[in-house]
Structure 1
Amino acid sequence: MEMKAISIFFLVLMYPIVSALLLRATRSTRDEFAELLRRMLQDPSIDEEHKIRISAMADDVFDWRFMAFATFAFPWIAFTGDFKTDLDETDIKFLERDDAKRLIALHMRCVTAASPLFTLTFAIVSFVSIAFLIFRFGATSIWETWADTVKYVSPKSA
């Protein structure tokens, strides 16, 4: 009982400290994300539907709920293969762009820093999902699955 109380106290005390340190450590990542996001929103070659999704990604950067929902959405999409049916040809073409790949990578870093507890949970769950994806579809499907997770989880893109 005493060890359990100490563990809970430690978690309650340390969680805000760890969160603050992670947010401070990822400030340059969030800055780069914001700059890339601004450039992509001004890019005339990106259609409005994708700009709405890009804009929705900005709302996730400090939101702990994104990783909470992603913890469930990512493996669901991985195991059901929903990303293959929900992404059309324009989505695939957009995801092949270098700036889109970079934006997704930066987004992943930002949202994981916003919620360390759900990031840890997500890491465990996604490890199994990614192994399944690589076995079933190949490495490119990881990008597609994350993009589809953003599509489902971000409120503006739904």
Structure 2
Amino acid sequence: MTVPAPRSAPGCQPAPSAPVGNYLTSQFRPGISPDGQYVVLPRAVLERLPRRLQHLVVDVLNAVHAQMPVETTPVYRVGPSAWFEIDGLDEERLQEAGIIVEFEADGELVYRDLRTGHCLTEDERHLCVLLDTPDPLSQGVPERC
């Protein structure tokens, strides 16, 4: 006897095998790291949710934390960031990105990666880097020590 393959309800897509992974990597979404490996849930946004949803979030967080071994879980440093084109940054922001601007012996202005010493090409100067930015969501959220 053969067992029929499970079917979806008419008009429904089959359930993905990794729904969280699929969601995190399917498209850009606020609060998801560029590589799709981490999710940040801003407290100010969560606290604006209806109470019922806040309780659901707490239940999900409790389930997640129950899966994380306390003694080996690192402390994650999280902060608001935004993408900036290298060519449009001032000297201070370039240093934040690990890039310096200097003049070569022939007087040519070059952008140099501080970590590798590599001189950025014209095309590379149009790439974007992720830098700290003020957080418009954190107003009124108490600091932790």
Instruction: Give the TM-score normalised by the residue count of structure 1.
Output: 0.22
User: Comparing both structures, which one devotes a greater share of its residues to strand?
Assistant: 2
Answer with 1 or 2: which has the greater Rg: 2
Q: Which has the higher contact order (CA 8 A, sep 6+)?
A: 1
